[in-house]
Structure 1
């Protein structure tokens, strides 16, 4: 497999904060800021369509709703179910019941998309149905029977600063990493269970990814990519690879790394080995990276904002020889 650069375009948005969402159903990417929602698709060429736009700056800056009301209902449903970092967003009705949550001139959805779900107090839900919110020093497990989602109990973080987090899909567990590289496994089922230290990666944990079966966890940072296997409620290190990455995405046994100023890297994981397949220097520092499994495309944004690049993960072209080159025919 290899990385192919399809196109580099100017961003259709101009605000300083731009989020990227994925629609598998529409085989597209959605780019949002407080003014616009743009959809980016690729068939034979790159297409950009503006799906919604605020009538004025005043209207855009007044957005105070917790949920993403700029999306049509079908898009919101897909995005809320897809969620982020293993968590799902709540329904529009659930978010409408909440008071006192304001992200100022930004929306919570844009902020969480860019900076991480653990950074803000927006209530989210695990695949097992637990509703929670994150604060700087703790996790709050919320009461779903209460319209105001009052706190049932809190679990303190074992860290000065949490930098990445991911929920398990089939267990009441989550894993988080810290600014000093420590990795912790936290049970969510009991307020008296303290986090278990998994590893010390020495440098800041940048991103965590768990596959849909909770079989493998992928953790990256400055100088490392580590892969853990979930066995008997423990994360066991099975492989590591010397590299540096800001974020990681996984599709089957392919690993896609956002390497910031060094572009994108494609790896393959098999057995207990990691093999580099390809890398691509885009020509700008990569900020956000999103992967759409429907068509194996990647959309990345530049830092500083202004440029977007569309890539595709594909099979390398097979070279074939003609019969005339394989055989020499005499007279």
Structure 2
């Protein structure tokens, strides 16, 4: 079985695994695609990449979503049954680690007779629930593949991930810049990816350690997202202390405001949206993990307060870019209003 560099498959008996095990960036169409592992960011990427591959092959692809935790008997067979126009179908199943007994039984039966032109994606985030189903999928040679999305714990794995982000975009980056990025964003793969993509979109020349320092100075100790997360959660004193520490370490106010802007824009998109994260992802142009995170950030917020904070954010951005005399005061004022969820 093939497992690409950076992807770690859980220890399993070779006799029980008859299907290919591949990394997230090697995902390919199969009748059944098991996306396993605890790294939700990579799992979301793999599923999105598969959807894009299938869409490129046939734009008429029909995409539907199932929540395995609330599965209704017969749901899978209904969605997989031949359609009037015979278009290909992608059925994405979330929360397989919380699936019902009916889902296990019906999916095991489906493995024996998968529908034509139908791609069933099973997202299992870990745990013992659904073990019988996992064993059945892993024994389905010629029918299924497994995409292993294990957490990237080693810095070398994160370094390779960041390097691939730049390589895919055709952007040159120095080893020192990669090391600096990994050091600054070692705790969150999603934020590491966001930082890479910001540098890719904002810079025209080779990304160096100096570039990273200019954008993300002080993040090794305190990064802008930590300040934003603390303020959004209503922790004014803590967020103010984090801000001052970051500025004392050389952080630039511009990327600090950019981190808040990214968070607030995402929250505004998700506010009031109904449906599962996988279902909303396509509608909002976001990854499911972004929707889940925004929903956690929105706890205690309302639309009026969010609107007020977005207005203050725009004022702060203008102030630190030359319209105001004291960028630090502007940042502290913004944090006090955001920490109060727009009620000040």
| Category of TM-score, reference length = shorter chain | under 0.3
Larger Cα-atom Rg? 2
The structure in which a higher percent of residues are helix is 2
The structure in which a higher percent of residues are strand is 1
